[in-house]
Amino acid sequence: MKRLNGKIAIITGASRGLGKAIAREFASEGATLILHASKKSSEATAMFREIKTLSPKSRLYYANFLNYHEIAAMTAQIQKDFTHIDILVNNAGIIKRKTVLTMTVDEWDDVTKVNTSATFYMTKLLLPRIIESKTGRIINMSSICGLTGEYGLSGYCTSKAAVIGFTKSLAKEMGKHNITINAICPGFTDTGMANDIQRDFFERSVGTIPLRRAGKKEEVAKLASFLCSADAGYITGQAISINGGLV
């Protein structure tokens, strides 16, 4: 039997990169997907068309994660359209490569709003419905940068470290409801976001990895699938690194 058969899973930031890979993996494992994209685009449309071939009952919703009211409206509509929610993957994120001296206040606010605040908003708004499932799973996408820091990524690293703290605290709160909450901390993974942190920097960094390659987004997706399955029922409150041995 497929490991997510019959589950309903929300994946934010699903139009590309890790979100798209997780959506494809979950659909192949039998889940019905509630997919989020920040706006209508050919990229989001193509992703949704592909997922529908694997999971015909899946739906796509749009919300700008810089705007709490759009998030609230989207989650309200989702709860009208679906009777239960089993899994939430908080994957949406943005990155700005700026030092503290060059980063503007607005840029800092945008990074923390999308990467940290939106994770809190989505979780808070959907948590009552997830509690009803009695076997809920929440995955918060963090980063190796949230564990180690990185030059020129102070805003991104701070936001991802906050996600880890949120994950550990929420796991303590939700244990009594049999809900597991874990953070995944990918290392350098070959996704579209690599272009956002400059290709030359990305390629130099790969040379420091013991396995001598970037991670594959499909590898991260399979970890997420496992953590959302019954096989991972005793794993919670963890920040799990998947980074090719980079320490």
Please tell me the distance from the alpha carbon of residue 11 to that of residue 92, in angstroms, as a whole number: 8
Q: What are phi and psi of 153, to 5 degrees?
A: -130, 40
Query: Known catalytic residue: 156?
Result: yes
Rg of the chain (C-alpha set):
17
- Residue 55 CA to its chain's centroid (Å): 20
Q: Encoding tokens for residue 51?
A: 């997922």
Q: Write phi, then psi, for 212 (nearest 5 degrees).
A: 60, 35
| Pairing mode, strands 87-90 and 8-11 | parallel
Find the catalytic residue in 62, 68, 156, 234.
Answer: 156
Interior angle at CA 176, CA 170 and CA 179, nearest 5: 60
Q: Please give the positions annotated as active site.
A: 156
